[in-house]
A and B are shown apart, each in its own frame.
Chain A
Amino acid sequence: GQQLNQSPQSMFIQEGEDVSMNCTSSSIFNTWLWYKQDPGEGPVLLIALYKAGELTSNGRLTAQFGITRKDSFLNISASIPSDVGIYFCAGGAGAGSYQLTFGKGTKLSVIP
């Protein structure tokens, strides 16, 4: 089946730093989604992308749908302690498919 490679697996950053993470696939996706999961909670949708090249922001978060449709990027600017959590990318093939394929997550730790 389709697989998403998400990197890095984990990262430690200082409060105030910017963060970048990405997701790549060997398959084309028509939808890219980014989620954040706090401990003991379900994933929460951060950003949804529907067009190749699309750049969308949600506060300090910015995500891009890669031109090749095989990758997506998430940037967090000026990190704060509450950014701690696991970030997941998810891709949807579309064209009648109702399934999302998830990456294995990037665990973010913020050092105050």
Chain B
Amino acid sequence: NAGVTQTPKFQVLKTGQSMTLQCAQDMNHNSMYWYRQDPGMGLRLIYYSASEGTTDKGEVPNGYNVSRLNKREFSLRLESAAPSQTSVYFCASSDFLKAFFGQGTRLTVV
């Protein structure tokens, strides 16, 4: 069982570059999420999609955009990367708030 799959696993960007983090789940979950994890800060919600066709801002949405491409896929885009966006990014999908996480994308912006 693949569960939640994120690509890429690692990425280095220069300030101002753009990129899209991809996420796909095979559990037929309606809800999907993007979190960032920074040392000592726990997991902070960037954006979520309660169901296909809807997206909403979380706690730290500035500098990010998302697309719920279909029920399986939820992508996160950084239009103009900044060093403050250096972090580990996790995608998750959920069934009645039981969230299941991918393995993360470690992003460094230099």
Contacts and interface: CB of A to CB of B under 8 A. Distances in A.
Given A1-B59, A42-B90, 20 more contacts: A33-B97, A35-B101, A41-B103, A42-B92, A42-B101, A42-B102, A42-B103, A42-B104, A48-B97, A48-B98, A88-B42, A88-B43, A92-B97, A98-B48, A98-B97, A100-B33, A100-B45, A102-B42, A102-B44, A105-B42
Interface centre among A1, A31, A99, A104 (most CB of B within 10 A): A99
Interface string A71-112: 000000000000000001010101000111011110000000
Contacts of A1: 59
A44 B103 CA distance: 10
B54 to A, nearest CB: 10
Contacts of B25: none
Interface string A40-62: 11111100100000000000000
Nearest to B31: A98
Interface of B: 4, 31, 33, 35, 40-45, 48, 50, 56, 58-59, 90, 92, 94, 96-104
Interface of A: 1, 31, 33, 35, 40-45, 48, 88, 90, 92, 94, 98-100, 102-105
